[in-house]
Structure 1
Amino acid sequence: MLSKQSANSFLSTVRYRPQRLDHLVHQTNFSKKELQVLYRGFKNECPHGVVDEETFKSIYSKFFPQGDSSMYAHFLFEAFDIHNNGSVSFEDFVVSLSIILKGSITDKLNWAFNLYDLNKDGCITREEMTNIMDSIYDMMGKYTDPCMRDNAPKEHVDNFFQKMDKNNDGVVTIEEFLDTCQKDESIMQSMHMFDNVI
């Protein structure tokens, strides 16, 4: 088993070749033309065909220059790193992107739950949600208009648990998460926000 550093060194010297696009058409909800466009963009940012966490963070930081996106990018990278090997291939990227942009509501919610469940134990704790919220507020920056209050992340976590933790056991299970989200009109509307992006 290669260490993460050895794997990153190996990745920087070997070029990764993705699966055939027609195979990815069946694996995702993208057309061949959409996959070609996505591949050109991916290859432009990641010439070796895979991206490690540091490169992912660097790319992601360009979208949020006013804040520190490194922690949220770390969580996002772990969600995209399907095989948990310290790298995201084009296939990993488009499978997740397909869920986020074109998946069913249930698929999108399951993906979001997986993102929030940092230790992948099947439930979201207050600590995990606090880490996620802190990373989002750090990413958005201190200079937003209107300015965010310092206690905003804690309030968001409190609201999340008040709404989601139906049995008040201090954790949110996938069942509680799916049930609450599917009954909440504003959450359901936000799930459709990216439906026609590509």
Structure 2
Amino acid sequence: ERGTEKGTFQEMESSDSDLELSTVRHQPEGLDQLQAQTKFTRKELQSLYRGFKNECPSGLVDEETFKSIYSQFFPQGDASTYAHFLFNAFDIDRNGSIRFEDFVIGLSVLLRGSVTEKLNWAFNLYDINKDGYITKEEMLAIMKSIYDMMGRYTYPCVRDDAPSEHVDKFFQKMDKNRDGVVTIEEFIETCQKDENIMNSMQLFENVI
């Protein structure tokens, strides 16, 4: 008898989670659709969703909420500028809030994507005004925000001009045709060839 009880409980639990998905104020896409769009299993999506809903019961995260959640991970520095850039990279339709779908699709790329997918995502992060090019100013803004976030204590030997030296070096390597902007092709090609760039751009594992 116990076995059948357990079976129905599992059924209840899975129908509960589906139900949960449909009762929230912002209604995410169906689980099946998200499973097809991401590299997460159904179970993982359900537990991500529960966590997401705990933090933001309305089903949407605005920039202020995102910043306050994010800054908890980097108490040693000021994460607000980097969180602003990150928020814009997650906010796919640029409407000022992140839906569960946006969050989970971005997370799937960052945690499970191929190198090229991660680099595409990174390019979008660095392309602050979303015009399809990265300028030296944009790269410097992101780099500075990463240094601010990691805090002085992490880099006791870092001088104030370190981010701009970093960027000068990267930019020179990336801007193959010397036209003052970096295209997505230039960005991906350079990053894939250069392990130092991959590492010092903090490609994700330790920043997200």
The whole-number CA distance in structure 2 between the counterparts of 1:120 and 1:101 is 23
Which amino acid is the alignment partner of residue 142 of structure 2?
A: I
Question: Which residue of 28, 33, 38 corresponds with 1:23?
Answer: 33
What is aligned with 2:177? 167
Partners of 2:84 and 2:158 in 1: CA distance: 23
Report the alpha carbon displacement of residue 166 of structure 1 after superposing the two structures with TM. 1.2
Unaligned runs of 5+ in 1: 1-13
1:105 aligns with 2:115: yes
Sort the Cα spacing of 1:99 and 1:129 in 2 relative to 1 into closer, same or farther, 3 A.
Answer: same
The 5 Å alignment of 1:178-197 reads 178-186=188-196, 194=205
Work out which of the two has the higher radius of gyration on C-alpha atoms and give 1 or 2. Answer: 2
Moved more, 47-56 or 144-153: 144-153
- Taking structure 2 as the reference length, what is the TM-score of the superposition? 0.81
Question: SS at 1:142's partner residue?
Answer: helix
Task: Give the partner amino acid of 1:162.
Answer: Q
Contact 1:108/1:191, CA 8 A, preserved across alignment? no
CA contact 1:105–1:191 (8 Å) conserved in 2: no
Q: Distance in 2 between matches of 1:159 and 1:88?
A: 34
> Is the counterpart of residue 47 in structure 1 residue 57 in structure 2?
yes
The CA deviation at 1:85 is 0.5
Deviation at 1:147, TM superposition (A): 3.6
Structure with greater contact order relative to length (CA < 8 Å, sep ≥ 6): 1
User: Would the alpha carbon gap of residues 19 and 102 (structure 1) be closer, same or farther in structure 2, given more than 3 Å must change?
Assistant: same
Which among 89, 96, 109 is matched to residue 86 of structure 1?
A: 96
Deviations 1:117-166 (A, max 9, x none): 00111111011011111111111112225342111111111111122111
Aligned equivalent of 2:74:
64
| Change beyond 3 A, Cα 1:144–1:192 | closer
1:75 aligned onto 2:85: yes
* RMSD over equivalenced CA pairs, Å: 2.0
Give the number of equivalent residue pairs: 181
Uncovered stretches (5+) of structure 2, i.e. residues with no partner: 1-23
Instruction: Indicate the residue corresponding to 2:17 in structure 1.
Output: none
CA apart distance, 1:193: 7.5
How far does residue 187 in structure 1 lie from its aligned partner after superposition?
A: 5.2
1:142 to 149, 152, 163: 152
Which one-letter code corresponds to 1:168 in the other structure? R
- Residue 183 of structure 1 and its aligned partner are, at CA, apart by 1.7
Are the counterparts in 2 of residues 28 and 94 from structure 1 also a CA contact under 8 Å? yes
Alpha-carbon separation, structure 1, partners of 2:73 and 2:150 = 10
Out of 29, 34, 46, the residue aligned to residue 44 of structure 2 is 34
Greater mean deviation of Cα atoms: 141-150 or 154-163 = 141-150
Identity %: 72
The offset of 1:191, in angstroms, is 9.3
Q: Provide the rounded CA distance (Å) in 1 between the counterparts of 2:198 and 2:123.
A: 15
